[in-house]
Amino acid sequence: MQNENLKLEDLLGKTQIVKEIGTINNVALVGAGIMGQGIAHTIAASGMDVIVIEKNEEKLNEAKISLAESIDREIKRWAMTNAEKKSILSRIHWRLDFEKIKECDLVIEAVQENFELKKEIFCRLDSIAKKDAIFVSNTSTLSLTKIAEATNRPDKIIGMHFLNPVPKIPLVELVKCLHTSNETVEMVKKFAAKIGKTPVEVYEYPGFVTTRAIVPLLNEAMYILLEGVATAKDIDTAMKLGYNFQYGPLELADSMGLDEVLAWMETLWKTLGEPRYRACPILRKLVRERKLGKKTRAGFYHYDENGQIID
């Protein structure tokens, strides 16, 4: 009887641990750019509420309009319904302040790829959030370990590298920094599954898996265009038909945002020093001209208001 009681107590103890590890109920998101909108959309579509924070009213309104227009395009393609749109938008709560962070179990940072900015945000979050809250960065190339050192909770810092368009791509890279605890990894794995993503665990390294592998392909396609070997359309057609890609590399770069792609290349070139990451001059030229791809309706292609390529 004593052994049976011990087993029962052990079982109850394990049940309690499982319960504690799986409780992410309140989520906040800092940054409402293209990636932030996609992450918010994905979380809300899974049935969870999410607080989205931006730095000023103008950026917040732009994000609201952009997200609504993105969903409207899906409705036109019969991929969503008006009822789904209403349900998703009702779960997204827009804010200009960090006050609600105090209530959150998980905070996701999705601002531009700038180390000092991310470090500043994490430091601020650390002073506001409850002690057991987990902080997530959507960085694709920067050191999470260095970002984590700006906080008093390095064991609760982890990366979730989503790919664009977030609602459609079922993958997320879970990036462990030097201090990330196993409990944090398990909690975020469960959260990823809850929002419909398949998590792939990677260790901190510039570019992780997806960015490190895709950047040389994008860069080489740009050099092929620069050298006049083929047109942008023919380069993309060759890769789509020849290798069964859903998007050609130049269209893909446009959808990612050419300024983001350039930031990735510059970070990888600086940290790894390998020529394959040295940005093609045509990319630098387009970014200087503020032709950043789909979000500005001009990049390697021109786009209509629905994001479709104009021939």
Domain ranges of the chain: 20-203, 210-296
pLDDT tens sequence across 113-168: 899 999 999 999 999 999 999 999 998 888 899 999 999 999 999 999 999 889 99
CA 109 distance to own-chain centroid: 9
Give the Cβ contact number of residue 203 at 10 Å.
11
pLDDT tens sequence across 195-224: 999 999 998 888 899 999 999 999 999 999
CA distance 269 to 161: 20
Q: State the pLDDT at residue 22.
A: 55
Q: How many residues does the chain have?
A: 311
Contact 245, 294 (CB under 8 A): no
CA distance 22 to 155: 17
Give the Cβ contact number of residue 192 at 10 Å.
19
Instruction: Tell me the β-bridge partners of 28.
Output: 51, 107
Over range 223-242, report the average pLDDT.
98
Give the Cβ contact number of residue 6 at 10 Å.
10
pLDDT tens sequence across 31-73: 999 999 999 999 999 999 999 999 999 999 999 999 999 999 8
Over range 179-190, report the average pLDDT.
96
Measured in degrees and rounded to the nearest 5, phi and psi for residue 87 equal: -65, -45
User: Three-state DSSP class for 67?
Assistant: helix
Q: State the pLDDT at residue 307.
A: 84
- What is the average pLDDT score of the chain? 91
pLDDT tens sequence across 79-104: 899 999 999 999 999 999 999 999 99
Fold of the 20-203 domain: Rossmann fold (3.40.50)
Mode of pairing for the β-strands spanning 171-176 and 92-95: unpaired
Pick the residue with more confidence: 247 or 307? 247
CATH superfamily of 210-296: N-(1-d-carboxylethyl)-l-norvaline Dehydrogenase; domain 2 (1.10.1040.10)
